[in-house]
Structures are given as structure tokens and as C-alpha cells.
Amino acid sequence: MCGIVGYVGENNSVDILMNGLYSLEYRGYDSAGISIVENDNIITFKSEGKIENLQNIIDKNKKIESNIGIGHTRWATHGAPSDINAHPHSTARLSLVHNGIIENYKDIKNNLINKGYKFISETDTEVAANLIDYLYNGNPLLAIKKAIEIIEGSYAFAIIFKDKLDKVYAIRKCAPLIVALGKNENFIASDIPAILKYTNKYILIDEENIAELQKDKVIIYDKDLKEVNAKVNEANWTLEQAEKSGYEHFMIKEIYEQPKAILDTIEPRIVHGIPDFKRDNILDENFWKYFERVYIVGCGTAMHAAMIGKRLIEDNCRIPVEFEIASEFRYKNPIITDKTLAIFISQSGETADTLAALNLVKERGCKSLAIVNVNGSSIARAADYVIYTYAGPEISVASTKAYSVQVAIMYLITFKISLARKLKNEKEIKILIRNMLNAIDSINDLLDMSDEIKNICVDYKEVNSIFFMGRDLDYYQVMEGALKMKEISYIHCEAYAGGELKHGVISLITEGTSVVALAIQEKILNKMISNIKEVVSRGAKVLLFAKEGMNIDKDAYDKIIYLPNIEDMFMPIASIVALQLLAYHTAVIRGCDVDKPRNLAKSVTVE
């Protein structure tokens, strides 16, 4: 959600902070600000709206010479988007930025008001700033320690103190924050892309540990203020991966990166033609045999990957599987035994509800497996086992390649379980994997159809609602397709199983209603065509995605797009790309901000 950057070094902190904020735009925000040190004073600039607004304010001031500072992009939770509510928040002795939610801020605020403190904003962050100010006696570490003993909720803080102007302090709990290491300069950031221009070395701050940064050193303290040795990691992402590289938007770049991202993820895990997860430290082959029940947990797009995983494992491995929305699952009393496996899917590895759900099953003694895209993320560190996807940085808020690699991993997991339990032999698995690789290759054919899909999207420039229809595996795909469309084009979209239309939805179908139908599963084609004809007969304008070679009455539909003819089982790998392109081109034609849609954030790190 919010983005944090911090810098101490020998270079111009304003430029570095602003570059960092631009790099974190994808996390979503409604205001931005920085605090920098100049001539032994802390100066703060902040503004509602785009980072460009903040840049304009800074540019109106004289050339600022500063080598230390903190910056922030805010996603409103307490208080409306405004200049006053924007971060940083400052007191007489410090300036602070915050990502997270302080659950007991009202009690703390009332106590501070009774002690004479005054508040000008509506935020919980100003409460944290004043609390640390109240507790401060010249020792930043002790004041921060005392504050977090009082604060309840999630947080990542970056702080500068007016009497310690050569240092930046940082701490986190249930919110992402890294310390990045340079030469005579060090950084704080919410995510890796913000520091790639300067360094690829970083430290993951453990929960409730405090980082003290100077230009030539970083010290990490535990919650008892004892120094700890922190592991230095190296990011395998490049700056080029986090840039548009000539594409108009990150989203279209990431759509086109999908074939490579999928192959980069699965090829290292295919050994002699069969799945192998030894590189993920899953060394015991009995791991794939012990469980009798599976939960797959995710949010948003990751939940749709979980749905496909459920279907694949149940169909091929004959194990009962439940897919669960993380924000609901975490409050349930799930049936968990020592024969249960819980799989958690998250691109960022920081999704707050997914992490909370993971902690729930750990308390119950359940084995956990994480599928994440960020090395060393909170979910990765909390799970018993972790499978990293190699999609590279995904900057656009609407997930594309991260979803595809998650689905690809679910196929490999399915094949591994099936082989381990002797439901299929090696020869059968090798054939399945070859067919899967063919499906991945067909994505390139779909990408070549981008202009054809773009031409159709003109029809959606003025529409207010689109219904998506599918059956079987196609149903999960249209759910993801509808989510993509509503996320970035702001068109109301709903996805329905074809057979459910007559149970209520069909009452909404009138002359001119827009419908997108996916009919690419051979075994239920006739049923799906019957459902589509029901909406056609009521005047709907149908865009049909069918498979090459299918016997389709072309005159019955407004538009038809034929997808590559690959095996039904693997169509989800390819067909989703067509729906992603449909959403992308529609959003562009409607003039929407494709990479940064309103009210959305890339990483949902608050509950």
C-alpha cells in the first residue's frame, strides 16, 4: 500500500527520495511527501495527488542541498487524502513516515491530548509521531522501543530526529521494509525496485527490529536493543526489468514477458522430463504423499490461481482441496489435522490477510507451502516450504505474469503429487509436461493477436457493464478476466458460470448488453453454446472466444476470436492472455491510467 523511502549518504537526498517514490508508484497512493535535512533543520514538502505535484512544490524552492531524508507515498486509511494528512508528520523533535494501521491510535491520541499534545491531521501516523516525541529523552532507540510496546497494529516507520541529523531510523511489524546498502550511502525502502538504481544489496529487517542507518554503516538491533548480525541479500532483479523498456505501459510489457517468466519458473524444476522441487529444499519425496486434505489460500488474482489449483489437484490426484479467500479464512475455524497441507499464494509475499492466514495454520500445526515472487518476503520466511516464482518485478497494479507463473506452478505441483502417489507414471507425466510446454509456446501466437483484440475493444469505449461467462476451467479464467477488466477500465464486470445464468443473472440481459464468453473446453462445448444462445436471444452483444477448429455458428455472435487449439487441460495457460489483452486495450481506449488504477494498490499490506 503506502511506499517508504529513506536515504543517508553523500549525494543529493532530494533526487534519490523522489526517484524512489516514482519507483514505488505502483503500490498505489493519493498523496506524497518528503522530509530532508538542510542546514541542521528538517524541511518538509508534501502534497495531495500525484508525485508530480510534490515535485512542482520542490522545484519552486531554491536549490536544496541535503544528504539525508525520508519520503512517503500515502494510501489513505485514517483521514481523507489531503496536504495535511500526507506524510511525513513532524513534531518539535522528529519527522516520521508510516505504512500500516495503528489499531489503538484513539486511546493513544486521547492520552497525549491529556498531556498537552495538539493534533492537526486525522491520521494515526501523527499519533505515532507524537508518541515517540513524548517518549524521547535523547535516545532514539529507547523511544522507539517504548513506543512499539504501546502501539498495536501493523507498521513500518522511518524516522529522522532533529538532534541526530546524521542518522535515519527504521522499524517494521507486519509491513514490508528493507535496508539497502551502498558505498558511503544507505537506503530504506518498502520494496526492491526503489533501490535498484543504486544497489542490489539489501537486508530484510526482522519484525520489531530497529535499523540505525548512517552513511558508512548500518546497525540492526533486536527488540531488546541488542545488536544482531543481519544477512545481506542480493536482488536478482535488474533495473531494466523494473523499467518500461520502450513499452507504453508496464502492464503490456508484463503481458509480453509471460512466456519467458513461465519458462524461467518451471524449467529449473523439470529434471529429466518430470517435476523436481529439490531446488526449493523439498527433499523428502514423502512430503508429496502424506497429506489427505489441501487448502489453497490467496487474495484477488492469487485466489483465481488457487481455484485452478484446486481443480487440477482434485481431478488428477483425487485429494479434497479447498480454495479460500485469505481475508475470510483467517477468521474461520478450519478443519486441520497433521494430514493437512496449506498452500499460500502471493506475488509480493507481503499480503497482510494471507500472512495472517498462514500464521493461523501454523498455530494449528499444519504444514505450509508458500508460492511467492519476492525472495525473503514475510510469507516466504513464515512458511515451512517456499517455491519462488521467477517472474521478475511486476510493476503494474493489475497482475498478469505473476498470475501466469502461479498457475504454471500449480500444474507442476499437481504432476508431482500424481507421480509420487503413483496415480500416473513417469511416461504419462512427461507427455503432460510436453503438452504444457506446447501451451506456453502458444502464448506467442496469442500475443500476435493483440491488434485483432484491440480493434474489438472500441466496442467497449462507452459501455458501463460487461458480463463474462464460462464453464469448467473457463469459468475460473473469466473470473480473472472480469477482475482485470474492472480493475483497469472501471467497467462494472461480473463473471458467471454458464449454467448459473438461468438462476437469476439472465434477468439483467437486455438488448445491447455486453457479454464476453469463453467456450474452449471441448467436453462441455454444447452446453456452453446453449448458454450463450440464451443471452443472444435476449439481445446481448456477445464476444466469443473459441478454439480453432471448433464447429461454431459464426453468424450467431457479434464477434468471434479463435484461440490456438491446444489440449483443454492446458488452455488456462494461454486463454488468460487474450482476456488480459482485452482488458488492457479497453482501458487504454477509455483513457484510463492502466498501471495505476484508482483506489488500488499493488501490495495490500494492511488488513
DSSP assignment of 211-274 equals: EEEETTEEEEE-TTS-EEPPPEEE----TGGGS-TT-SSHHHHHHHTHHHHHHHHHGGGEETTE
Residue range 450-589, CATH number? 3.40.50.10490
**Amino acid at the residue 181:** L
What does the pLDDT look like over 25-41, one tens digit per residue?
877 788 999 999 988 89
Residue 10: count of CB within 10 angstroms of its CB: 12
Residue 586: count of CB within 10 angstroms of its CB: 27
The predicted structure's pLDDT at residue 593:
93
What does the pLDDT look like over 376-405, one tens digit per residue?
888 999 999 999 999 998 989 999 999 999
Domain ranges of the chain: 3-235, 250-446, 450-589
Residue range 3-235, CATH number? 3.60.20.10
Residue range 250-446, CATH number? 3.40.50.10490
Residue 254: count of CB within 10 angstroms of its CB: 27
Question: 250-446 and 450-589 share one CATH topology?
Answer: yes
Shortest CA distance to 421 belongs to which of 332, 316, 556? Answer: 316
The predicted structure's pLDDT at residue 370:
98
The predicted structure's pLDDT at residue 352:
86
155: β partners:
100, 173
pLDDT average, residue stretch 83-88: 94
The predicted structure's pLDDT at residue 246:
87
What does the pLDDT look like over 468-497, one tens digit per residue?
999 999 999 999 999 999 999 999 999 999
pLDDT at residue 166 is higher than 80: yes
pLDDT average, residue stretch 586-597: 95
Give the three-class secondary structure for 387: strand
Catalytic residues: 2, 602
Cell matching residue 77:
486509511
pLDDT average, residue stretch 579-592: 98
For residue 542, give the H/E element and its range. strand 541-547
Sheet containing 340-346: order of strands: 321-325, 293-298, 340-346, 367-372, 385-388
Alpha-carbon dihedral 503, 509, 510, 516, rounded to 10 degrees: -160
The predicted structure's pLDDT at residue 501:
83
The predicted structure's pLDDT at residue 502:
81
Cell matching residue 338:
497433521
Give the separation between CA 598 and CA 260, rounded to whole angstroms.
29
Mean residue pLDDT across the chain: 93
pLDDT average, residue stretch 85-100: 95
The predicted structure's pLDDT at residue 25:
85
Shortest CA distance to 25 belongs to which of 177, 257, 191, 245? Answer: 191
Residue 240 pLDDT class (50, 70, 90 cuts) = confident
Residue 596 pLDDT class (50, 70, 90 cuts) = confident
Report the percent of the chain where pLDDT is more than 70: 99
Is-contact 430 275, C-beta < 8 A?
no
